[in-house]
Structure 1
Amino acid sequence: MRINIKLAAGFPLSRLESTFHGIETTRDENNTHTVRLTKSEVTADRDFELTWSPVPGNEPHAALFSEQWAGDNYSLMMVIPPHQEGQGGALPREMVFVVDTSGSMHGASMGQAKAALKMALSRLAPDDRFNIIQFNSSTQALFGRAVGASPRNLARAEDYVDSLTASGGTEMLPALRRALTGEKELDRLRQVVFMTDGSVGNEAQLFEVIEQKLGASRLFTVGIGSAPNSFFMTRAARLGRGSFTYIGKVSEVRSKMKALFNKLESPVLADVEIDWGEDVQVDMWPRRIPDLYMGEPLVLAVKGEVDGKTVVIRGRSGDKPWQQRVTLHGGGSRGGIRLLWARKKIADLMDQKARGRTEDEVRHEVLVVALGHKLVSKYTSLVAVDKTPSRPLDQALIGKNVPVQLPKGWSAEKVFGSMPQTATPALLNLLLGVLAMIGSWMVSVFGKRNRKNVADEVRHLNGEMYR
């Protein structure tokens, strides 16, 4: 695997790091950072994660990257709210922790999940309520419903976490339904933290359940392991109006979970709206702006003339109104902005299927965008045909098994299963079964031959009698 990145954030950075790979960075006079791997080639057995943050300040950071294409203006707008402690009033919460204990979580992933759960329990306030749900081939909850975070209940929860083991399949749907089912109390924030490697194949069905059952809850996904299903967890968090956190190694559980719970404990900026002004016509995606948490950026893709415009961002922090006026500039002109706008629009259109729109309606609108911008989607694909011979024509094809690179920390035995390695007669039983099948086939064949011979003899005798 080789990686070469150019990062133009639009404002000064205080931090630029790679979590799992060694990197080298340089910065030019335009404040553009070039990032390369320290090693020329590395094994592709885990995700590459690049994290960065702006220099903190009391004013909102804003950047606007623009592109003109086919007579239209496209912009990528990023606004980071100012760092202000103590906005709004903190409310007691109902926390539902859902943990994946399927076979793919065996090893380091299970250790990370346990450490994350214990940290989450330690951050609960006395007025909070909580529950723990685990799932593999079946779903099990620690309590019948959310209970108070009393010392006795927390001690019981820690023992429960210690007893968790990874085995079985990944039946996520019942666990997701159970976690999102529940009436939100007016004086509480209901937050669901879902810890998994996302090893599932029914994403569309899961997205529909999130859209239908979310209500006033908020869903926060935590990716566990070296190669989680980032597509599923990112989109699930977007539909759940939460955020996605990735934990790739045990040593970062504390820092990543601390950052997540600092956000969850901070007042929510909900009901976010953008006032573009009466004279500005824009096509903005995503249409439904997610809740924001302290230090989290607001990223919007816009089609329309907005460079240099002043917009008003409004929302609600706790029980108090929040408002910021921001002038959009600073990023300059960049190629590819139209493609980012198109991808965000396609992603939002695909989400609308979970909200009740028909397949035909969504397909028509996606095709218009995807074909117009030459993008791959569920309904469009790009096919490349290479006619260069890869072997001499006089040589026959040879088939063989190709080894698969498992993600770092995965156990093939736990994920795919294996023959028992203990002192059991499994191999003997398998051999006897094969021999029995061969014997049955032989009896069937020779039985048919014997019956045919007997019939021939009878016909011969009948002929002699009437001759």
Structure 2
Amino acid sequence: PPIPRDILFLLDASASISDEALNEYKAGIQLALDYLQPDDAFNIVVFRADARALFSSFVAPTPENILKARKYVKGQSTLGKTDIYTSLAPYVNRSRVSKRPYMIFLITDGKSTTGSKLENDDMIRRILGENTANASIFSFSAGSKDTNRFLLNFLSYKNRGLSLHEERLSETHRTFVRYFGSLAEVLVADLNYDISGALAHDAFPRELHHLFRSQPLVVYGRAKAGQDIIDLRVVGRNRDGGREELILRKRLSEAQPGGQSLALRWAAQKIYHLIAERSMGNNPNADAEIAALTKKYNIAVPY
């Protein structure tokens, strides 16, 4: 059975969000409420320059609480300035007794408009450093060409989540509920992995999101010439808090060739990792490594 989750919907209702976009976001949340599991807990926070929660703490998805949530979401309209950091930080920088997966769905265009707004790299570093709640951030945006996708992508990447942008505004509510539904069942939480030998240096992503029933778990690596045996160990936590472990030993000589497309996907994953390291200030050689990879694999980097 899936692991019960604590779900936080964090909805941007500031003036930088168009009325059409907000209506789509609201419709998506309304549909997503139907995907909450009986043992889940949830809350809804609407933010502009500051954040306001519907409930004082996470609550069970009872019919009464779902009805309150629907009314709260329905009554929102666009207004005021945006401060993403001030709104998000209190919900990651908090002590939690519960070991349930804590998943924040950050629904925003990623644009802070207050005078105290932070630069992208600064906000990513701060949120990661303050994430004592071990929250996974799943960002979602739609429509606007001005969306700060760099911020949303790397907030999620560094906080063990995923990020999705829907270009077609009219499809936003459907896309969001599919996204939310694909993350509805956590089978194993708090994953970590080890991979054999020299492969560990060139395996990406370095940190994994939870194992979901409807989401693939993919690790890309590059083996040196002559290496045949690959050992991979994935460890996590099940519903009862017990340890789950998967150990794989495979021979590359028995694997199907991946072709150039696999090499491109590995290179893209490494570039993504290097961009995140550059944002964190952890790798002074990141730009040179990114340039070498983009040249070798002919990859266009949007950041």
State TM-score, norm by structure 1: 0.52
- Cα distance change on mapping 1:252 and 1:166 into 2, 3 Å: closer
How does 1:208-223 map onto structure 2 within 5 Å? 208-215=125-132, 216-223=134-141
How does 1:284-433 map onto structure 2 within 5 Å? 284-286=202-204, 288-291=206-209, 292-294=211-213, 295-302=215-222, 304-305=224-225, 308-316=228-236, 318=238, 319=242, 320-328=244-252, 329-333=256-260, 340=268, 343-353=271-281, 357=282, 362-363=283-284, 365-370=285-290
- Cα distance change on mapping 1:221 and 1:90 into 2, 3 Å: same
Residue 151 of structure 2 aligns with which residue? Answer: 232
Is the 8 Å Cα contact of residues 220 and 242 (structure 1) preserved in structure 2?
yes
Distance 1:372 1:95 in 2: 40
Distance 2:267 2:57 in 1: 45
Residue 299 of structure 2 aligns with which residue? Answer: none
Shift of residue 147, structure 1, vs aligned partner: 2.5
Distance 2:142 2:36 in 1: 22
1:204 equivalent in alignment to 2:121: yes
SS of 1:238's partner is helix
Q: Deviations over 1:231-287 (max 9, x none)?
A: 2211111111011122333435235423433323231354331432x5x45522546
Residue 301 of structure 2 aligns with which residue? Answer: none
Is the 8 Å Cα contact of residues 140 and 176 (structure 2) preserved in structure 1?
no
Residue 275 of structure 1 aligns with which residue? Answer: 195
Distance 2:44 2:265 in 1: 42
Is the 8 Å Cα contact of residues 98 and 192 (structure 1) preserved in structure 2?
yes
SS of 2:220's partner is strand
- Cα distance change on mapping 1:293 and 1:93 into 2, 3 Å: closer
Distance 1:221 1:337 in 2: 22
1:162 equivalent in alignment to 2:89: no
1:191 equivalent in alignment to 2:118: no
Residue 109 of structure 1 aligns with which residue? Answer: 21
Is the 8 Å Cα contact of residues 59 and 65 (structure 2) preserved in structure 1?
yes
Equivalent pairs: percent with the same residue?
19
Matched AA of 1:323:
I
RMSD: 3.0
Matched AA of 2:163:
F
Q: Between Structure 1 and Structure 2, whose CA radius of gyration is higher?
A: 1
Shift of residue 110, structure 1, vs aligned partner: 0.5
Distance 1:171 1:197 in 2: 11
SS of 2:212's partner is coil
Distance 2:9 2:99 in 1: 20
Shift of residue 337, structure 1, vs aligned partner: 7.5
Residue 162 of structure 2 aligns with which residue? Answer: 243
Shift of residue 322, structure 1, vs aligned partner: 2.8
Shift of residue 217, structure 1, vs aligned partner: 1.7
SS of 2:202's partner is strand
Note the residue ranges of structure 2 that are not aligned, 5 or more in a row. 113-117, 296-303
Is the 8 Å Cα contact of residues 108 and 225 (structure 1) preserved in structure 2?
no
**Count of aligned pairs between the two proteins:** 277
Distance 2:76 2:36 in 1: 20
Distance 1:155 1:370 in 2: 49
State TM-score, norm by structure 2: 0.77
SS of 2:16's partner is helix
Shift of residue 367, structure 1, vs aligned partner: 5.0
SS of 1:147's partner is coil
- Cα distance change on mapping 1:304 and 1:368 into 2, 3 Å: farther
Distance 1:100 1:306 in 2: 52
Distance 1:208 1:282 in 2: 24
Distance 2:293 2:142 in 1: 34
SS of 2:138's partner is strand
Is the 8 Å Cα contact of residues 283 and 303 (structure 1) preserved in structure 2?
no
